[in-house]
Amino acid sequence: MVQRILFLHGAGLQPGPGGNPVLEAVRRQWPDADLVTPDLPSPENPDPELWQEAIGRAVRAIPDEPWVIVGHSLGGSEALRFLCNRIPTLLQRVVTVAAPCWCPEHPDWNERGFALPPTVGRTLADLEIVVVHAEDDDVVPSTHARCLAEQLPSAELVLLPSGGHLPTSWTDRGLIA
């Protein structure tokens, strides 16, 4: 039973309460979990270092009990980047949803500050990671999920036929224990 979920939003204008379908689907599927939802700084113009600092503060505030990270879009790729430097104790699983893969294979997504290190596959090999993406995502193409899965060979790749950039059907698949 998941007791705590750290939800990391993506970049761009953030919807008001109840406005992020991914967050609301997580809330509905795991109603008894304490859902931690930090505001990551300047989402319209994200700074990689400021996001890492904010994620670090949120992680340090989590009590010593089993927990899970769900990161949507940039929140997912930034969660992975954070974990390359420190894997917190009692972290059970990471679920990225529609996360971009910042690498040369995606020239429009080649911002060096957000890129994962080349050692990401080895560094995170013992961590349970699920990469969720919808085939019809028109913001971050599903090729990004395949790229992340190549970089993270121990990750489970879940490709959904639909859901766009805000897929929610994954929540009923038991991907968070």
Residue 131: beta bridge partners?
A: 96, 157
Look at residue 171 and tell me whether its pLDDT is greater than 70: yes
At 17 the pLDDT is 66
Look at residue 18 and tell me whether its pLDDT is greater than 90: no
At 15 the pLDDT is 73
Look at residue 30 and tell me whether its pLDDT is greater than 80: yes
Which residues constitute the domain of residue 152?
Answer: 4-173
How far, CA to CA in Å, does 11 sit from each of 27, 33, 155? Answer: 20, 24, 23
Look at residue 37 and tell me whether its pLDDT is greater than 80: yes
Q: What is the pLDDT of residues 144-153, one digit of tens each?
A: 999 999 999 9
Residue 144: beta bridge partners?
A: none
**Domains of the chain: total:** 1
Query: What CATH number has the domain bearing residue 41?
Result: 3.40.50.1820
pLDDT > 90: percent of the chain: 81
Which letter does DSSP use for residue 116 in this model?
P
Separation between Cα atoms, residue 87 and residue 168, nearest integer Å:
26
Mean pLDDT of the chain: 92
At 89 the pLDDT is 86
Nearest C-alpha neighbor of 156 from the set 93, 92, 101:
93
Range with the poorest average pLDDT among 20-29, 115-124, 166-175? 166-175
At 23 the pLDDT is 94
